[in-house]
Amino acid sequence: MNRIVTCPLRGACTFSRTFSTLLRKPNICRNSKIQTLPNRWSSTRQGQMSEQAVYITAVGVVVGFTAFGIIYTKNSWSDLSTKKGAVKVSRAVKVEVPPPPPPPPAFITEHAQYLIIGAGTTAFTAYQEIKARDPTAKVWIIGKENYIPYSRPYLSKYLWYLAPEKINTWTEQDHPVGAKSIFYESESYYFSGKELAENENGGVCVIGGQKVTKLDADKKKVYLECGKEISFGKCLIATGGEPRNLPIFKEAPKEVKDRVTVFRTVDDFKKLYALSKSAKSIAVIGGGFLGSELAVSLQARANQENSGLKVTQVFPEGGNLGLVLPQQLCLWLTSHITSEGVQVLSERTVSKVAYKDNKVVLNLSDDTEINADHVIVAVGLEPNVELAETAGLEVDDRLGGFLVNSELEARSNVWVAGDAACFYDRRLGRRRIEHYDNAEQSGRVAGQNMTGGGLAYTYQSTFWSDIGDVSMEAVGLADSKLETTTISELVKDVEDGSNRKVVFYRKGEDVVGILTMNIKRKTELGRRYIDKGLKEKDIGEVAKQFFAKVEEKTEEPESNIESAIENVSQK
């Protein structure tokens, strides 16, 4: 509503003149009730007193209205000036314009027989199962990254131990443990959009650099960021998750943000690999698997090349993997990582960040100050559930992730697998798992069910981590808040003389998780015992089987790819 602002003095004067006229000329109100006043108002003294009272009242009214007018006008002009000022301020602030949407691909189908949202491990294994059960299936995979499906674990571990000249010519022989490439298949394995549409025998096409912004489960249709729409017959959501960042870095100056990496993708690896050649100090925030793997890998590479790089790791827990390992083992691992050259600052958080002399200045909760050329934030993952609202899907309010049934189905013809799926484990209850083995195996089950398999996901997935020369494998629940039983064995005939360990995690008498350290290929044994319902009283006898020697097996490489990763030195 528009506000009319007039001069308060002018209004007050007009009111005063009008009121005085009325007092001097009562006859103009002869027909009004003013003439019916009591007789006492007609006496001379009382008339004079009444006249004075009326004038005093009139003056009071005038003054009151004048003051009100002044205050009203002042506030009105203040409001207007504030609004004008706000406009000026908003014009002065630089507004970040979002990047334009990506251009649509050269060819894209209007209808996908099988559509997979996400282009990681889950997507690839789901495709393999679909194709195995439906030989002429046409599968369309849509991913945000401009890469064909690859395995993420290598980015924080093995790639850092290769010689620089091997990065762009990596084969399984170059790998420290003889493993495969990070890419599941070469680019020639995938069809272009037009080729797939015309191929009667089916296949798979990866549409990279595109994001699905909306999924309409009722219309069985997805909407892409580029503006295209695709209808589908069957759809799998394999969106995984996004790496968390800390608010203190989100709100930091641009100079700081430009020197912070939340590590997850091939591009993140390339960026960090290039930086590690020239940086003299890198701070890793986070003491979990990813943060510990990166800290040790970076420091090992620096030691190998004698680059002078110093890696500092900061986290709030009492030691490395403090949320996973029991305290004694946690402190042992921290001591080992420190011996590798990493400066570990546990039980500390970042309280303030600044930019000074081309470095990021981190002030910690204990008043320690760190100057770093670059900062890596590795504090966990947020499941990517952006499509939940538009698709009408339910998200678990405790664990995150899309709620699915035992067949990984969220709605008719819509499945979810991998990091973004929250499923029911018949042995351990409702779970959401952020590990490679779960991504791979849940993708397989979802792919089979998309072709009518009707399988329940009952698999006890495993996870592994290599932190320098310390290897860990686990199955089930591995949580430091659970009761634990740790059994160790000093191995004298092993080359590095490492202390092998087995940790049994318990809920009461039930064993719900088993973790091994420096013991290889025992996860299948652990999986069987958890499925059978291993009890605390049997731990001592069962532990002997984990220390029994395993016959070495030679495994065929799973892929024969000419290049593992593009030459990072050219980027």
pLDDT at 163: 59
Backbone angles phi and psi of 80, in degrees to 5 = -65, -40
What pLDDT does residue 490 have? Answer: 62
In whole angstroms, what is the distance from residue 405 CA to residue 422 CA? 9
Mean pLDDT over each residue of the chain, to the nearest integer: 81
pLDDT of residue 338 exceeding 80: yes
Mean pLDDT along residues 372-376: 98
Q: Please give the pLDDT value at position 106.
A: 85
Share of the chain above pLDDT 90, in %: 66
With a cut of 70, say whether residue 140 has pLDDT above it: yes
Return the percentage of the chain with pLDDT > 70, whole number.
Answer: 74
- Judge whether residue 1 has pLDDT over 60: no
The kind and range of the H/E element at 49 are: helix 44-92
pLDDT number for residue 164 = 59
- Using 50, 70 and 90 to split pLDDT, how confident is the model at 550? low
Cβ proximity of 490 and 504 under 8 Å: no
Does the pLDDT value for residue 570 go beyond 90? no
Contacts 24+ apart (CB under 8 A), 349-352: 349/314, 349/316, 350/246, 350/248, 350/285, 350/314, 351/248, 352/248
What's residue 186's pLDDT?
Answer: 87
Higher pLDDT, 352 or 22: 352
Q: What is the mean pLDDT of residues 151-160?
A: 88
Q: Does residue 21 carry a pLDDT above 60?
A: no
Q: Residues 427, 429, 432, CA angle at the centre, nearest 5°?
A: 115
Residue 292 has pLDDT above 70, yes or no: yes
pLDDT mean over 253-279: 94
Q: What is the per-residue pLDDT for 36?
A: 35
| Mean pLDDT of the region 302-327 | 95
The pLDDT, as a whole number, for residue 103 is 87
**Helix H or strand E encompassing 514:** strand 510-517
Per-residue CA distances from 272 to 88, 177, 341, 520 (Å): 41, 23, 19, 30
- Residue predicted with more confidence, 559 or 162: 162
Per-residue pLDDT of 63-98, as tens digits, reads 455 444 444 444 444 443 333 344 443 444 455 666
8 A C-beta contact, residue 204 and residue 193: no
Read off the pLDDT band of 162 (50, 70, 90).
Answer: confident
What confidence tier does 295 reach under pLDDT thresholds 50, 70, 90? very high
Q: According to the per-residue pLDDT averaged within each range, which of 33-37, 467-471, 489-493 is highest?
A: 467-471
Q: Please report where in the chains the tokens 């484990």 appear, as a residue.
A: 425
447-462: pLDDT as tens digits: 999 999 999 999 999 9
Q: What is the pLDDT of residue 84?
A: 38
Which pLDDT value is given to residue 498? 62
Band (178; pLDDT cuts 50, 70, 90): very low
433-465 burial, b for 16+ CB within 10 Å, e for fewer?
bbbbbbbbbbbbbbbbbbbeeeeebebbbbbbb
